């Protein structure tokens, strides 16, 4: 008897999603609650678990198709069915799972793999469940996922794990997965030279890839912000000497006591909370012909994920300690890479901080995240000559950019907000005594 697998509830006001990828093939053995498919919604990617243990049956929806909440997308056959019992007495190589991640639906064959190699690989590969981003990285870099130790939740592979394994594979002696090039590279005399075969020199190629639902939503919301809000950006620079000195002095004690590294984001979130008290319009929003002021600061922190930029929310950030802020942001970053952020993590937000400096950005004009009215852009720290006391000295400087909705926030208020942040960051004692 087959059990239907339906699209779960996706969150408030979300009624449909895109089936990103099937994580199991027909005939694959499945455990209860094991992910069998990934869905992409407007905000996050999530996995659909199997309601029962058994064998993967019919897949009723193709990858890339739009599905509604409650729709039946697959069926799970009873574990006692033929696909599960045929291999009971044979070698595990008959399991129809491709541990190399080659992306091909290979039919089970019990007469091809050597008996001394197949059992270990099949058992190890059968337990692997790869997210879409990880599976794509495996295919691109030709690595064996069964030989990579996962650092994600429950030991699952992340994209960084695959990239690290690929780099190690390139630095060392070529291994079997790396040198077994696909058919199109068979004519290349030097497979290790790179992913592009020599025969493709001079060719002009194009590739069309359908935008993910998340990317479509990002594009739509950013364009909506430009069309709706009167966006303007103001800048200031900050001498980061005091913050860097405080981090260097207390980082070991901080990590020993709280179990988390003392980063820059804690300082910036606290400084933003302090500045928002003096300039409350930066933390407000427009609703029709009314202005909504918030007596709390929920900071949306822009985090890079495999499928695009996501903005999980640090709630009540103005009431949190440095350690609580750092732990929350570190957790968001890890879960963004694993693809385990939830819809609740994304809801709300009254102000956004985007740190382009981690990618090397010197200056930018960030776009606000509706219905918010302002976004702070952080950038890289670099030594620049500044004049202090009549002397030209080198100081670690960072440019700050505040993009804001000019319908609500005047230029004077935007400049005042950045000045308050600059004062707090250049003299962190202000953060402690609330000045």
pLDDT tens track for 163-193: 888 888 877 644 444 334 444 444 444 444 4
Asked if the model's pLDDT at residue 200 lies above 70, the reply is: no
Q: Could you tell me if 31 and 168 lie in one domain?
A: yes
Total domain count for the chain?
2
| Paired residues of 387 in beta bridges | 392
Torsion of CA 64, 68, 71, 74, to 10 degrees: 20
In a domain? residue 195: no
Instruction: Report the CATH number at residue 304.
Output: 3.30.559.10
Q: How far is CA 189 from the centre of its chain?
A: 38
pLDDT value at position 391?
A: 93
> Strand, helix or coil at 237?
strand
First to last CA, the chain: 68
Among residues 171, 187, 203, which one ends one of the domains?
187
Are 417 and 236 a contacting pair, CB within 8 Å?
A: no
Domain presence at residue 408 = yes
In this structure, the answer to whether residues 241 and 172 fall within a common structural domain is no
Q: Does residue 278 sit in the same domain as residue 367?
A: yes
SS3 labels along 296-318: CCCEEECEEECCEEECCEECCHH
Domain assignment present for residue 201? The answer is: no
C-beta atoms surrounding 323 within 10 Å: 16
Tell whether 232 and 283 lie within a shared domain.
yes
394-432 residue pLDDT tens: 999 999 999 999 999 999 999 999 999 999 999 998 887
Residue 208, domain member (yes or no) = no
CATH of the domain at 84: 2.40.50.100
| Cβ count near 335 (within 10 Å) | 20
Instruction: Give the residue from 225, 222, 243 showing the smallest Cα distance to 378.
Output: 243
Round the CA-based radius of gyration of the chain to a whole number and report it. 26
Q: What share of the chain in percent tops pLDDT 90?
A: 34
The answer to the question of residue 196 being in a domain is: no
Whether 388 is in a domain gets the answer yes
Whether residue 166 sits in one domain with residue 36: yes
Between residues 180 and 200, which one has the greater pLDDT?
200
What is the pTM (predicted TM-score) of this model? 0.60
One domain, residues 255 and 403: yes
Most confident range (mean pLDDT) of 125-129, 146-150, 197-201, 223-227 is 223-227
Query: Do residue 183 and residue 44 come from a single domain?
Result: yes
Beta-strand relationship, 351-355 and 374-378: parallel
58 is catalytic: no
166, 254: one domain: no
Name the catalytic one among 4, 252, 316, 410. 410
Active-site option among 123, 160, 258, 406: 406
User: Does one domain contain both 293 and 369?
Assistant: yes
Q: Which residue has the higher pLDDT, 302 or 326?
A: 326
CA distance 21 to 64: 8
Report whether pLDDT(434) > 80.
Answer: no
Q: Is 410 a catalytic residue?
A: yes
In a domain, 17, yes or no: yes
| Same domain membership, residue 180 and residue 56 | yes
pLDDT for the residue 88? 39
Is the pLDDT score of 374 beyond 80?
A: yes
Which of 187, 205, 239 is a domain's end point? 187
Structural domain boundaries enclosing 337: 213-433
Residues 6+ apart with CB under 8 A from 258: 323, 326, 327
Beta-strand relationship, 303-305 and 290-292: unpaired
Q: Are residues 227 and 163 in the same domain?
A: no
Neighbours of 155 (CB within 10 A): 9
Q: Does a structural domain hold residue 203?
A: no
Is residue 399 domain-shared with residue 251, that is, in the same domain?
Answer: yes
Q: Find the length of the chain.
A: 435
Spatial distance between the Cα atoms of 63 and 243, rounded to a whole number of angstroms: 48
């Amino acid at each position: 008897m087959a059990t239907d697998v339906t699209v779960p509830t996706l969150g408030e006001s979300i009624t449909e999603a895109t089936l990103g990828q099937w994580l199991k093939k027909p005939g694959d053995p499945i455990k209860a609650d094991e992910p069998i498919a990934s869905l992409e919604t407007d905000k996050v990617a999530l996995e659909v678990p199997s309601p029962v243990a058994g064998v993967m049956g019919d897949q009723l929806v193709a990858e890339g198709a739009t599905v509604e909440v409650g729709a039946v997308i697959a069926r799970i056959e009873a574990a006692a069915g033929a696909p599960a019992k045929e291999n009971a007495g044979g070698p595990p190589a008959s399991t129809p799972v491709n541990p190399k991640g080659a992306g091909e639906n290979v039919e089970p064959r019990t007469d091809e793999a050597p008996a001394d190699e197949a059992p270990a690989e099949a058992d190890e590969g059968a337990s692997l469940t790869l997210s879409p981003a990880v599976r794509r990285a495996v295919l691109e870099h030709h690595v064996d996922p069964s030989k990579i130790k996962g650092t994600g939740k429950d030991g699952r592979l992340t994209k960084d794990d695959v990239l690290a394994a690929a780099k190690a594979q390139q630095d060392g002696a070529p291994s079997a997965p790396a040198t077994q090039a696909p058919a199109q590279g068979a004519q290349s005399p030097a497979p290790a030279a790179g992913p592009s075969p020599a025969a493709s020199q001079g060719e002009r190629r194009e590739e069309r890839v359908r935008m993910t639902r998340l990317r479509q939503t990002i594009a739509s919301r950013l364009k909506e912000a430009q069309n709706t809000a009167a966006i303007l950006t103001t800048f200031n620079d900050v001498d980061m000497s005091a913050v860097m000195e405080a981090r260097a002095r207390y980082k070991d004690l901080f990590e020993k006591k709280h179990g988390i590294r003392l980063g820059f984001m804690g300082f910036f979130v606290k400084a933003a909370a302090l500045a928002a008290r003096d300039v409350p319009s930066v933390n407000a929003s427009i609703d029709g012909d009314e202005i909504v002021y918030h007596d709390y600061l929920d900071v949306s922190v822009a985090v890079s994920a495999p499928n695009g930029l996501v903005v999980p929310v640090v709630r009540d950030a103005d009431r949190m300690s440095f350690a609580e802020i750092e732990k929350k942001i570190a957790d968001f970053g890890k879960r963004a890479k694993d693809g385990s952020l939830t819809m609740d993590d994304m809801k709300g937000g009254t102000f956004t901080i985007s740190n382009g400096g981690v990618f090397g950005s010197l200056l930018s004009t960030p776009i606000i995240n509706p219905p918010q009215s302002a976004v702070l852009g952080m950038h890289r720290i670099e030594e620049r000559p500044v004049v202090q006391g009549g002397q030209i000295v080198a100081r670690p400087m960072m440019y700050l950019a505040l993009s804001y909705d000019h319908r609500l926030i005047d230029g004077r208020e935007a400049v005042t907000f950045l000045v308050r942040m600059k004062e707090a960051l250049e003299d962190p004692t202000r953060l402690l005594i609330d000045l």
